[in-house]
Chains A and B, each alone.
Chain A
């Protein structure tokens, strides 16, 4: 390849042929185009596309329905320390199972999805919404609980396959919990009945003796 056996200039012409093919070809074949005119045209994002996390809530209430129980696992595991959680307290001052504040600094967040991966409750998931421009450097860049909360319906809309998997898993867990509770109650009831029987049997014994 180092020695050329052709007239000088032929290589250049061959190259120009490629350029011309690409230039004129782009009018015919859209695959030769490089860009789309962004705000008017948008590319379809694949389902797994991710950038910033959001909090999932079930039902219609974005405060009551939050799946987050403020266990702070994501806050501990977040590589860039973008998550800040303050746990709520009930009227007796004991820690309650929902967050008082949940803030994500999206300027610090790098969208690595480790929070979504480590969450034991499937409460935090990755969004594919990408237009987050804001005027200001501090306040608008910190998303609070209200802004982060998005419904399970939304989650189903952006990631149908993943959301269905998560729902099935949560349903299974709920079923198992229900089953365990039912079994526990059953056992307790049996025990009570047995105790009652024994108690009913006992008073008879002294009469007989």
Chain B
């Protein structure tokens, strides 16, 4: 492909008599751009308004997360995992705690398992809620949907703050359980929030699903063959929107997910519209899980009494733990050499790996759709760059 000359006009479409030769335009989108969800840059090569080539450039937010973790104790990495995907700190905590528990062979008490499921599903709810707002913001509907989303999310964050002390950087899970038990009245407050969610989702569906502008902007855009998605290792709602049923909550059944009945919503075409709808439907399923988890929450201790806070040295070995975070498969890989620090610490971030097919999704689309496609992948740069 010639990357300097634009394709000739199709016969009869040239706007003037002799179009002559036109050139391709190289456009740098970002890193300082409100629609790139952080400091992310795309080098787009444009033929008119059509994208010919697109190179993602990332690393602006790199802060040496993995190397830092190899220099500090296992516990000290826990607050840093909050900062990976800063919308979903509790699922990050869970993935890390799960890996260390695998490594050290720690049992988790039943009440703690229930609390983890409740918190992970609340995290999924608030992540998808904010996703809707940002996606609509990327389409130009900046304001109302984002505001409604944030208003609803605030109710969930209030729960997080009442339990963990912080709205976003929760740092709540510990190896072998949770840090503290629920404050009085928390379960009732959580029940109220869960009960208020279907109303919010109804309102969102009324606002979005039939909106002609939204359908025009999202249908048939950004779709990639399901085969390519699998080859690239894409996971999460992006994969399920293309019709592939892969959800680690069903595949691995980590924690106590085998006790809950829930369905996995699947899309048909994998375009942006499907990705949006998948998230709306996933929230409904999360509400079902939350409903039964809050009902069945048992009494008991929240942390394994054998778990040590200080001088924690897991036996030598390696472990890979993964969970279904709201954005996809979040995995941690740890090697221990019996010292207080991990010998190797590696994160498998769903945002980064879902981003690898960005060029394929965008080539042939209009430049205005690039933002929508990027928004539909749902990335967080804290996780992409680490």
Contacts of B162 in A (CB 8 A): 46-48
Is A14 engaged at the interface, CB distance under 8 Å to the other chain?
yes
CB distance from A52 to the nearest CB of B (A): 12
Chain B residue at minimal CB-CB distance from A73: B310
Chain B residue at minimal CB-CB distance from A46: B162
**Contact at A18–B79, with CB atoms within 8 Å?**
no
Is B164 engaged at the interface, CB distance under 8 Å to the other chain?
yes
**Contact at B144–A77, with CB atoms within 8 Å?**
no
Given contacts A9-B212, A34-B147, A118-B310, contact A113 B165 (CB under 8 A): yes
CB distance from B213 to the nearest CB of A (A): 7
Is B345 engaged at the interface, CB distance under 8 Å to the other chain?
no
Contacts of B209 in A (CB 8 A): 1, 11
CB distance from B159 to the nearest CB of A (A): 9
Is B246 engaged at the interface, CB distance under 8 Å to the other chain?
no
Is A79 engaged at the interface, CB distance under 8 Å to the other chain?
yes
* Contact-size category for B: 35 or more
Is B332 engaged at the interface, CB distance under 8 Å to the other chain?
no
Given contacts A48-B161, A48-B165, contact A11 B210 (CB under 8 A): yes
CB distance from B208 to the nearest CB of A (A): 7
Is B262 engaged at the interface, CB distance under 8 Å to the other chain?
no
Is B33 engaged at the interface, CB distance under 8 Å to the other chain?
no
CB distance from A173 to the nearest CB of B (A): 18
Q: Which of A10, A17, A110, A126 contacts B165 (CB 8 A)?
A: A126
Q: Which residues from 151 to 179 on chain B have a C-beta closer than 8 Å to any C-beta of chain A?
A: 151, 154, 158, 161-166, 169, 171, 179
CA of A48 to CA of B151 in the docked complex: distance in angstroms?
A: 22
Q: What 0/1 readout, one digit per residue, does chain B (208-221) give for beta carbons within 8 Å of chain A?
A: 11111101000100
CB distance from B287 to the nearest CB of A (A): 19
Is A60 engaged at the interface, CB distance under 8 Å to the other chain?
no
Given contacts A15-B208, A48-B161, A48-B183, contact A114 B268 (CB under 8 A): no
Q: Which of A12, A22, A34, A112 contacts B150 (CB 8 A)?
A: A34
**Contact at A22–B144, with CB atoms within 8 Å?**
yes
Q: With contacts defined as CB atoms under 8 Å apart, how many contacts are there between chain A and chain B in the complex? A: 96
Is B256 engaged at the interface, CB distance under 8 Å to the other chain?
no
**Contact at A49–B165, with CB atoms within 8 Å?**
yes
Is A42 engaged at the interface, CB distance under 8 Å to the other chain?
no
Is A37 engaged at the interface, CB distance under 8 Å to the other chain?
no
CA of A77 to CA of B309 in the docked complex: distance in angstroms?
A: 10
Chain B residue at minimal CB-CB distance from A43: B158
Instruction: From B21-29, B47-55, B69-77, B236-244, give the one contacting chain A.
Output: B69-77
CB distance from B339 to the nearest CB of A (A): 15
**Contact at A77–B165, with CB atoms within 8 Å?**
no
Is B273 engaged at the interface, CB distance under 8 Å to the other chain?
yes
Q: Which of A15, A46, A79 contacts B77 (CB 8 A)?
A: A79
Contacts of A8 in B (CB 8 A): 212
**Contact at A50–B310, with CB atoms within 8 Å?**
no
Is A117 engaged at the interface, CB distance under 8 Å to the other chain?
yes
CA of A18 to CA of B199 in the docked complex: distance in angstroms?
A: 12
**Contact at B210–A4, with CB atoms within 8 Å?**
yes
**Contact at B310–A114, with CB atoms within 8 Å?**
no
Q: Which residues from 121 to 166 on chain B have a C-beta closer than 8 Å to any C-beta of chain A?
A: 144, 147-148, 150-151, 154, 158, 161-166
**Contact at A112–B169, with CB atoms within 8 Å?**
yes
CA of A77 to CA of B74 in the docked complex: distance in angstroms?
A: 10
CA of A126 to CA of B277 in the docked complex: distance in angstroms?
A: 41
CA of A112 to CA of B203 in the docked complex: distance in angstroms?
A: 37
**Contact at B277–A1, with CB atoms within 8 Å?**
yes
**Contact at A112–B79, with CB atoms within 8 Å?**
yes
Is A137 engaged at the interface, CB distance under 8 Å to the other chain?
no
Is B207 engaged at the interface, CB distance under 8 Å to the other chain?
yes
Q: Which of B75, B80, B147, B150 contacts A77 (CB 8 A)?
A: B75
Chain B residue at minimal CB-CB distance from A17: B206
Is A132 engaged at the interface, CB distance under 8 Å to the other chain?
no
10 contacts between A and B (CB under 8 A): A1-B277, A2-B219, A11-B212, A12-B212, A15-B210, A34-B147, A34-B151, A48-B180, A79-B72, A114-B78
- 3 closest A-B pairs by beta carbon, nearest first, are A11-B210, A112-B79, A79-B76
**A residues lining the B interface (CB < 8 Å):** 1-2, 4, 6, 8-12, 14-15, 17-19, 22, 32-34, 45-51, 73, 77-79, 110-114, 117-118, 126, 161
What would 17 more interface pairs be, CB under 8 Å, given A14-B207, A14-B210, A117-B179?
A1-B209, A2-B273, A11-B209, A12-B212, A15-B208, A18-B203, A33-B151, A34-B150, A47-B162, A48-B164, A48-B180, A48-B183, A49-B161, A77-B73, A114-B78, A114-B171, A117-B309
